[in-house]
Amino acid sequence: MLTIGLIGGMSWESSAQYYRLINHAVRARLGGVHSARSLMYSVDFGEIEQLQHAGDWDALTATMIDAAGRLERGGADLFLIRTNTMHMMADAVAASVSIPLLHIADPTAAQVVAAGHRRIGLLGTAFTMEQAFYRDRLTGRFGLDVIVPDEDDRRHVHRIIYDELVAGIVTPASRDIYRQVIARLIDQGAEAIILGCTEIMLLVGAEDSAVPLFDTTAIHAEAAVAQALAGDLAG
């Protein structure tokens, strides 16, 4: 089994879900009391959030490069940036180490395509919904037609992530807002919805949408386990 490295803490609420999902997946595949070989370097999200909203992406890139280097030196064989938004600097971070990065968008988009969907709605932070780094990967590599909520809905989606979900706050009122946003994306022709923030799975599930939801947290975790175990078999 290869050792999975995780850059976590963005937020620790979803990092905890990653740890749980990865270990459940290993136990499901290997049986008994098996668990994953993993390393996590967890950052202080209070510092990350301030830099994000200040637009200091150079400092954030340096932080992610430092974290990836720590994982490599610690013995990780592959690594995950355990947040969609911070994949904005994925290429620079991947280039800074010799171990491979498993990009969160790739296994997600592959599942969407395999399920036969093309026009998809994207939920996430304002950075993920509004900037090109994520949508361009979905369209350029996988041919997906990506739609995002309108400006008011994007503001609500972003606020709930940063004011509530990253602090572990889950409320019926916010779930209703997300349900309404999802419904409006479906009205625009979305055949499926990508939950493009790793905390959104704390708030909504399949019962909240009339079309399939693709949860990047669960998909990324499953893909990491598959790669770790395939590497072991190949080795």
Catalytic residue among 83, 125, 128, 217: 83
Catalytic residue among 108, 197, 198, 216: 197
- Sign of the torsion angle spanned by Cα atoms 11, 16, 19, 24: negative
Tell me phi and psi for residue 75, to 5 degrees.
Answer: 110, 10
- Sign of the torsion angle spanned by Cα atoms 198, 214, 33, 230: negative
Residue 63 is among the residues annotated as catalytic for this protein: no
Q: Is the peptide bond before 38 cis (omega within 30 degrees of 0)?
A: no
Residue 83 is among the residues annotated as catalytic for this protein: yes
Q: Are strands 78-81 and 4-8 parallel, antiparallel or unpaired?
A: parallel
Q: Which residues are catalytic?
A: 83, 197
